[in-house]
Amino acid sequence: MTAELFEDMAPEKGAQTVMAPGAMLLHGLARAVDAALLRGLEDVIASATLRHLTTPGGYTMSVAMSNCGPLGWVSDRSGYRYEALDPLSVRPWPVIPPCWMDLAVEAAVQAGYQRFQPDACLVNMYEPGAKLSLHQDKDEKDFSAPIVSVSLGLPATFLFGTGSRSDKPQRHRLVHGDVVVWGGPARLAYHGVAPLADGEHPLLGRRRINLTFRRAG
């Protein structure tokens, strides 16, 4: 009998799961520093407010987004791209908080990437019902760099497919403190997030925050 069979029992902190070739889940790696990460979040969103972007097709995204670092990911009627200035403030994005950077670099090292130098961090905020449709992350210049993602707050069902949109995705539960490093053959996989189930998290309330660290430029 394994602990994961019980719904509320995640693998222990320090455990690592290979979700697919190139996709390494570092269970609970962010949990020990969660309070510091959340202070960083307050600073980032005080300078660059969370906002619901418009897709090129004219839809409003249900996930609210912001960025920090030299480059930030934006979407509007003209397309998806990375920008050095926040289009709302017309000022540079805030710096990546040092404790965020330390965590992202440590996660990359644990997954075998010794030289990860992120220049962009996308902040995603989900409220109950918010979702992210299946997509690939291909607006970055160099696909040899991994993407590191950090999940905080309410749990989510993460959908993880292949390089082909029509393949049925696997479902994985990501909980507060989980960190995933996506590189190699996983880097261009289709992925998304199922509509967030309602709940109450002790630190974040009715929200999920996801941080993704990228080498964009």
- Closest separation between CB of residue 58 and ligand MD3, Å? 20
140 binds, among Fe ion, ligand MD3, none (CB under 5 to 8 A by kind): none
The number of helix segments (H) and strand segments (E) in the chain equals 2, 15
Residue whose entry in the numeric block shows the structure tokens 């990437």 = 113
Dump strand ranges (E) for 96-178. Answer: 120-126, 132-135, 147-153, 156-160, 170-174
Please select the residue that binds ligand MD3; options are 193, 207, 213, 215, rule is CB under 6 A.
Answer: 193
Show the binding pattern over residues 149-168: x = contacts ligand MD3 (CB under 6 A), - = does not: x-------------------
> Residue 122: which of 198, 65, 80, 163 has the closest Cα?
65
The radius of gyration of the chain's CA atoms, rounded to the nearest angstrom, is 16
Residues in 88-147 that interact with ligand MD3 by CB under 6 A:
122, 124, 132, 137, 147
67 binds, among ligand MD3, Fe ion, none (CB under 5 to 8 A by kind): none
Per-residue tokens: 94: 């805030």
Which positions from 79 through 138 interact with Fe ion, judged by CB under 5 A?
137
CB of 62 to ligand MD3, least distance (A): 11
Contact between 30 and 175 under an 8 Å Cβ cutoff? The reply is no
Phi and psi at 43, nearest 5°, equal -60, -45
In this complex, which beta carbon is closest to ligand MD3, that of residue 187 or of residue 215? 187
Candidates 100, 92, 91, 64; CA nearest to 211 is 100
CB of 183 to ligand MD3, least distance (A): 9
186 binds ligand MD3 (CB under 6 A): yes
Q: If we measure between CA atoms, which residue out of 75, 76, 67, 81 comes closest to residue 119?
A: 67
Q: Could you say whether residue 178 binds ligand MD3 (CB under 6 A)? A: no
Q: Is 210 in the site for ligand MD3 (CB under 6 A)?
A: yes
List of residues contacting Fe ion (CB under 5 A): 137
List of residues contacting ligand MD3 (CB under 6 A): 122, 124, 132, 137, 147, 149, 180, 182, 186-187, 189, 191, 193, 210, 212
